[in-house]
Chains A and B, each alone.
Chain A
Amino acid sequence: MNEKVVELKGITKVFGTVRASDNITVSFNYGEVHSLLGENGAGKSTLMNILCGIYQPDSGEIIIRGERAIVRSPRDAISHGVGMIHQHLKLVEDHTVLENMIAGQKGSFFIRKSKLEAEIRALCDHYDIQVDPNTKIKDLSIAEKQRVEILKVLYRGARILILDEPTAVLTPQETQNLFKIIKKMREDNCTILIITHKLDEVLEISDRITVLRKGKYIDTLINENLEPRTLTDKMVGKSTNLEIVREEVKPGDNILEVSKIVVYNHENAHALFDVSFSVKKGEILGVAGVAGSGQKELCEAIAGLQRVTEGSIRFNGEDLVGKTPRKIIDMGISMSFVPEDRLGMGLVSSMDITDNVLLKEYNRQHGVFLSRKEAKKQALDLVDKLSIDTPSVDTAVRLLSGGNIQKVLLGREIETQPELIITAYPVRGLDVGSAHKVYDLLNVQKQKGVGVIFVGEDLDVLRAFCDRIMVLCNGKVTGIVDADKVSREDLGYMMAGRHMDEVMADV
C-alpha cells in the first residue's frame, strides 16, 4: 500500500518579496503520518494552505490520486478529500458542535437534527471521542475543540488530513490522546500531514519527515533510528548549539511578592484566584499553563493594567494594587512588561523604531516639545547592539520580522534598566537563532540581579531556562516547583489541574 496519494510539483508562492514556497516538490503516501518540519517562515503552513485551497500557488501543480487537481478553495479541497485542521481552529464559537459539523454540507433543505446527531455519535464512537453534539463550541476546552475540528473534517469525508501545529495548545497528556486518534486514522488508511517544529513529537508519531527551510525543500527522511540532531541541522542549515543556558546566579531578596490576589475577567468569572508567589532578584520564574489559564491576567495585574479585587502585590515592599501604570512609574518603580501581543500592546506597529523608543523615552524629557534626537540615538544603539535586521531606524516596525520586532521591544524595555521584567511568550514565532538571542538578553539581566517572570509554552524550554516554574490551571496555582527537578509529565498533570502535592505523591 505504499502508493502516492498526493504529489506537489514545483509549488511556488510569493508574498510581496518573500518566497514563502520556492519550487517545492514532495509527495505523500496512503496511510502514512508525514510530518513537515521547519522553523518559522520555512513555508510549511504556506505549502499546506495551498494544498487545501486557502492560497493559490503562483506556479506548480497538485496531483491527487494520480490526477491533476485544481484546488481553488477549501470547498474544492474537500471534494478531493483534503481537509485541514488549522492552528487557529475554524469553528463558530456561538454554534453547537452539530451546527459546526454540518455547516456548508450538502443535504436536505431543513436540518434533520436527530438523523445527523446519530451520524455524529457513530463517528465519535469509532474514534473513541467523547463530545455532545449539542454543546456550544464556546463551552468546550481547547483540546475538545480540536477534536471537534478533526471530527468535522472526517465527517466531510476527508482522507487526507492536515494538522497545523496541533500540539501547541495541548498538555502532554492531551497530546498523547491526539496521537491515539491519529493512529486510529492511519489504521483507516488516511494520510495525516502534521506541521510542527517539535522534534520529540515528530520522532514519536511520524512515518516520514520532510524538512523545509526558508521556503525550500531540504529532504525527506524515513523515521528509523533518526537522531534529533540530524533533523535540527537540516532545519537550521548548519550545526547549531541548541543548548539553553541557565545562568547560575545567587538569588537575592524578594523583589516581588504576590499574595492571594483575585482577578475577575470581563464575564465576571475568576481569571485568577488566590494566586501567591514571589520572585527574587536574579531569578527567572517560569509560568506554565495551557493557553488562557490566567497568564495574561497575571502579567497585566502586576503591570497595573488589570483590576485586582483582593490580595496584594508588593514590589520591594510597596503595594501596587489599585495603582495605574502611570502611578507605578511615578513611585519610582522600574518594571518592564513585554506583552504577548507585541504589535498590539507592545509597540505601535505603523510607527518606526525611533518613535517607538520615544514612546517610552518622552517621559524623561522636559518641556512641551519632544526631542527626537535622543530617541534616534537610542534606536541606533539598539539596532547596533542587538543586531536588529532593518533597513533603517525610520522603518515601520510592522515591516520587520517577528524576531526583530521582539528585539526592538525587549531592547527598549531593557534600556530603562528595570528591576523586574515580565515577559509573555517572548520567543513565540521566533526562529531558533532569534529565540537564543532573547534567552541571552534575559540571562544578562538575570546576572545583573533583575527578577524575571517568563511566561512560556514550551515545557522543555521552561525546564532548561528557568529557576523555578509556577503552573497555572484555570486561574489557580497548581504548583511552584524547581525547574531542574520536575519532569514534563508532572508539569502536564499540573497544567491539567492536579495539585503538585498529589502529582509528587504519585511518584
Chain B
Amino acid sequence: MLSLIVFLHAAVQAGTPLLFATIGEIVTEKVGNLNLGVEGLMLMGAVGGFMAGYHSGSPLVAIIVAALTAMIGGWIYAFLTVTLRANQVVTGLAITILGTGISGFLGQSLVGEVLPKSFTNVFKPLSIPILNKIPFFGHVFFNQNLFVYLGFIAAILLTVYYKYTRLGLNAKAVGENPYAADANGIDVSRYKYAHILLGSALCGLGGAYLSLVYIPAWQENVTAGRGWIAVALVIFSMWHPSRAILGAFVFGGLDIVGFRLQELNISISQYLIDMLPYLVTILVLIFNSVRKDFVAGPKALSVSYFREER
C-alpha cells in the first residue's frame, strides 16, 4: 500500500510536464489549430528556462523566460498558419525540428550543469493543510511542489474559462466554425493568435518543469518524446482540460513504471516499457473511434480560415 502511494506520488510528478503540454495543446486546438510542434515548444521552454535560471538564479525569471521562449515558437507557428494559412501539420513538424535544434544548440555548453540551490528550495514539496490529511490521496496530490499545483490550477481555470465565460465560448466558436464566428463579429485571427500563444506558453512551462524541477540539470533532448504523448493525450481527454489531469497522471505513471519494476526485480526490456505510453495511445484511439458519442474534436481543426473564400 505504501509503495503504491509512493508510486502514485511519483506518477503525479512525472505527469505534470504532460499536463502542461496537454492543456497547452488543447487551448491551441480549441481555436482550430493543430500544432504538432509541442515537442519543439517544450524543448524551447526547457532550454530558455534553464539558461535564465542558471544565469539569474531566480526561479521566477526562469519560469517567465521559459514561457516567453516557447511563445516565440508559437508566434512563428501562428504567423505561418493563421496569417499565411500554411499547412498546419507541416508547420507543426517544422516547429518540432526547429525547437529540437535550438535547444540542442543553446544547451551545448550547459550539458551536465546543475541549477543553483534556490531552485530545489522553491520547488520542494509543500503540504497543503487539511487536504493533505485525506487518506491515500492526501499524500499523492497535496504533498507536491509548487509547479504541480500550478498545473492543477491552470487546468481548472481553463475548464471554467471554456464552460462559463464569453471569451471561452467565442474561442470554441472559432474552432468549431470560423465562418460563423466571423459573421458573429468575433475577430478570428486575434483569437487564434492569442490562444496559440497561450497554448505555446503552457507547453513551454511543461518543458521547463523537466529542466528546472524534475531533473534540475541540463541534459540534451530532455523531453524525450513527451510532446508527442501530449498530442495523443488531447484526444484521450477529449479536449477537456479537466480530463487532461487524469490522463496526464495515468501517462505519467506509465512513464516511470519501468524504474519501479526494476526495483521489484522484474526484468522487462526498457525498450518495451518505453513503448507503453504509445501502445496505450493506440488503444485509446481505437476505443475512442468505436464509441457512440465519439468526439472528433473541434470541427474546423487544421482547416485554414479565409473569409473571402468562394
* Chain A residues, Cβ within 8 Å of B172: 92, 95
The chain B residue sitting closest to A54, CB to CB, is B307
Contact A92 B166 (CB under 8 A): no
Considering only residues 36-69 of chain A, those with a C-beta below 8 Å from chain B are 54-55
Shortest C-beta distance, B156 to chain A (Å), equals 15
B263 within 8 A of A: no
B187 within 8 A of A: yes
Bound CA span A55–B184, Å: 15
Contact B169 A99 (CB under 8 A): yes
* Chain B residues, Cβ within 8 Å of A105: 166, 184-185
Contact A109 B166 (CB under 8 A): yes
Contact A90 B170 (CB under 8 A): no
Contact A55 B186 (CB under 8 A): no
* Chain B residues, Cβ within 8 Å of A109: 165-167
Contact A55 B308 (CB under 8 A): yes
Contact B164 A103 (CB under 8 A): no
B182 contacts which of A74, A99, A100, A102 (Cβ < 8 Å)?
Answer: A74
Contact B183 A74 (CB under 8 A): yes
Shortest C-beta distance, B20 to chain A (Å), equals 25
A-B pairs with CB below 8 Å: how many?
A: 79
Shortest C-beta distance, A269 to chain B (Å), equals 12
The chain B residue sitting closest to A45, CB to CB, is B310
- Chain B contact residues: over half helix, strand or loop, or mixed? helix
The chain A residue sitting closest to B175, CB to CB, is A92
Contact B166 A75 (CB under 8 A): no
Bound CA span A186–B157, Å: 46
* Chain A residues, Cβ within 8 Å of B182: 73-74, 90
* Chain B residues, Cβ within 8 Å of A110: 164-166
B89 within 8 A of A: no
Which of A75, A84, A107, A152 has the most B CB atoms < 10 Å from its CB?
A: A75
A170 within 8 A of B: no
Bound CA span A32–B310, Å: 30
B166 contacts which of A93, A100, A111 (Cβ < 8 Å)?
Answer: A111
Q: A55-B308, A90-B177, A111-B164 are in contact. Are A103 and B170 (CB under 8 A)?
A: yes
A74 contacts which of B166, B173, B185 (Cβ < 8 Å)?
Answer: B185
Bound CA span A99–B169, Å: 7
* Chain B residues, Cβ within 8 Å of A84: 183
* Chain A residues, Cβ within 8 Å of B186: 75, 103-104
Bound CA span A345–B310, Å: 19
Bound CA span A396–B165, Å: 48
Q: A55-B308, A103-B186 are in contact. Are A95 and B173 (CB under 8 A)?
A: yes
Bound CA span A103–B176, Å: 12
Q: A109-B165, A111-B164 are in contact. Are A92 and B183 (CB under 8 A)?
A: no
Task: Count how many chain A residues have C-beta atoms less than 8 Å from C-beta atoms of the other chain.
Answer: 29
Shortest C-beta distance, B189 to chain A (Å), equals 11
Shortest C-beta distance, B239 to chain A (Å), equals 11
A73 contacts which of B166, B169, B185, B299 (Cβ < 8 Å)?
Answer: B185
Mask, B273-310, CB within 8 Å of A = 1, is: 00000000000000000000000000100000001101
B180 within 8 A of A: yes
Q: A92-B177, A93-B177, A100-B180 are in contact. Are A111 and B185 (CB under 8 A)?
A: no
Shortest C-beta distance, A125 to chain B (Å), equals 23
* Chain B residues, Cβ within 8 Å of A73: 182, 185, 187
Shortest C-beta distance, B181 to chain A (Å), equals 7
Bound CA span A75–B179, Å: 12
Considering only residues 1-50 of chain A, those with a C-beta below 8 Å from chain B are 15
Bound CA span A111–B161, Å: 10
Bound CA span A111–B173, Å: 15
Extra inter-chain contacts (18) besides given A74-B184, A78-B185, A90-B182, CB under 8 Å: A74-B183, A75-B186, A90-B177, A90-B180, A91-B177, A91-B180, A92-B176, A92-B181, A95-B169, A95-B176, A102-B166, A103-B184, A104-B170, A104-B181, A109-B166, A109-B167, A111-B164, A111-B169
Can you list 27 A-B contacts (CB < 8 A)? A15-B310, A54-B183, A54-B308, A74-B182, A74-B183, A75-B186, A90-B177, A90-B184, A91-B177, A92-B180, A93-B176, A93-B177, A95-B172, A95-B173, A95-B176, A103-B173, A103-B181, A103-B186, A104-B184, A104-B186, A105-B184, A107-B166, A108-B166, A109-B166, A109-B167, A111-B164, A111-B166
Ranked nearest first, the 8 interchain pairs of A and B with the lowest CB-CB distance are A104-B184, A75-B185, A90-B180, A104-B186, A90-B183, A104-B185, A92-B176, A103-B173
